Structure 1
Amino acid sequence: MFEAQVEDCLLRGDSPRLVSLLHYEGLTGSTLIRLDQLVTKELRRSGFSRVLIVLKSLEILSENKDDLQTLVSHGLTAKVLLWFEAVCDLLMSDLQRSSAPLLNLAEGFFDYFLLLGQASLPASQLSVVLLQLLQLTLQTEIHFPLRLEAIRTFNSVLEVLSREQRRLIQNDHNHSQILPQVAAAVLTVGDYELQVSLSEALCRTTPRRARQHKANQWFSSRDISDAFCDIRDADFELDCRRFLNFLNCYHGDQRRVFTFPCLRAFLSSTQLFSPKDEKLDEFWIDFNVGSGSVSFFIDEPQGFLWGSIHVLKEEVDHYTLQVKQNGQNFNAEVHDAVVSAVKLLLVLSCHII
């Protein structure tokens, strides 16, 4: 009877009704095992939309602290992590990596992990959640926007943890082992926004007093490690921009992010303006070879001070690039990799320093 009722909920896409059914059945270990068997079966048969309904139901249940603690006591976190691991494997499959239902399911897991981060779970459990998010971010085969969302979720979870929880995670051996890979990805990932989020993750998982020592291990150049340690938490966005501009320029033509200070930028006929921040010295435009995009931050009067624009090359019909030096037009060679990666729907008037 339970399985038939669950099937009806899945057919109707009715998460609230599934929540009521789980309450009626009882939030017991037996109920959770049956739910686990259902999700495992659906993942094997690519029933991603149906699994998302189950996940949304668990999200509703988990908003109640008592219900969440009951589920956690019966092993919910371990089961959810096994489901997510299966999703990650599918995301790297040639047959499934571009599946919209699968991508939506992955984003549903990110939302649920944020909720778990706010629920004061044991640091040992949260540490495994965070580790899986880092591992997904580092997988170059996975859809790029999903990798960016994974590391942003990682940082958002860390942001809401208590100081003691963060300390326990910072001291976790598995996290210490993966941080060199995160630092290496900052050099190679080829997208400014992902570079920022990876740098933020390094800062959040490393106590300030240990940052110089760790940075010297992560980066082969002392100049780069010193530039990283100049990032102040209070001015993270601005200091991280200085660090990444230095880092990318340091690698010359081998860099995978090319950054230009720009005088004017247009998206179609609409002029875009840099964020209104007195500490911001330039209107920076990033040509991202890795993600095949152009990204920049703009003033967003109706929302936050910094709005983010990320233009993928597939979304662009044509582009024009105009380069100026000392107010005079001149011909300049633009790196072939940049041109192939970033077909711009932008008209830029750039001042190259």
Structure 2
Amino acid sequence: MSDKTRIAVVGFGLVGRRHVDVVRSLPDLELHSVVEADPSSAAKAAELGVPVYGSLAQMFDVDRPDGVLLATPTPLHVEQGMLCIQNGCATLIEKPISVTSGEALQLTRAAELADVPLLVGHHRRHNGMVQAAKAALVQGRVGDIRAVQTTCWFYKPEYYFDEAPWRTKKGAGPISVNLVHDVDLLRHFCGEVLSAQAVSVPSRRGFENEDLASAILSFESGAVATISVSDSIVAPWSWELTSRENPRYPATSESCYLIGGSEGGLSLPDLRVWAHEGGPDWWSPINAQTLAHDMHDPLAAQMSHFSRVIQGVEEPLVSGLEGLKSLEVVEAIARSAESGRAVTIASMDRLSQENQKEAV
């Protein structure tokens, strides 16, 4: 019997294939199987030489892995996550955790009651640049965080939507699909969000969703963040094009996060910390130091962490509850953009509670 942690990957699309490659590259992990309902994708997965199942239920009927990674479309996450929990199997769900925070609450509660580890794939928290930035903020390198500017602009080509028509539907725009990454990092850096005020612009391509949105987030700490997202703007200012996490994206030397504090400023991902000589004074010279950071694949770091959580030696860095909280903020942004009014996270929490009661 293998001493390796056996991981099953559910979904053999673009994201699932990356996770499969990561699992196969790590010496302490073993690819248990692939679950894929689409026949053509399943045929490609069969070339890996591991069992390929048409459904999660079929896999659990045959053999239970040590952990499951769900890389399937978001609407499937709750049903599949519940099945994993019912089988006592540790689960890592790609972000967002679910379509609605009410569903996420149902899922996180089920995992808690069953004492089954539930993680959400906000892999950026595992990035060495993010870890170095977080450490600098905790150490007070910028003083109190006062404001953050976040830009998430890129251009998704037509074939991106042609190969997956669900991406053109209502609820599948950049607010829900892309912004959840940045919201999670903002919470990681600044703490919990109190409210969101947002605007959005309908898709110029005629899709059912938006293609541009901007929001102002107010935090419990008193910090304020401005965040803008679009999948129809040609620009170098996005995490995808600046972080060098995924070699498929052309790398730029720009930054997409600007964090302003009472003692200094920090840009990310270039990790430059700016401060005035002799203390804050706009008349005195201002200089930058570049922080050192570990150069590792955040997806590999996340998967290794998942293995250690399964083994019981680490607590989840991004738990189901963390995924729920980030999703609540994204929902608040979407509701504010639709209504034109500020939305508090407390009201989103009450909505989650009500939705969960209706689902029971």
Give the TM-score normalised by the residue count of structure 2.
0.26
**Greater Rg by CA:** 1
More helix by percentage: 1
Q: As a proportion of its length, which structure holds more strand?
A: 2
TM-score by length of 1: 0.26
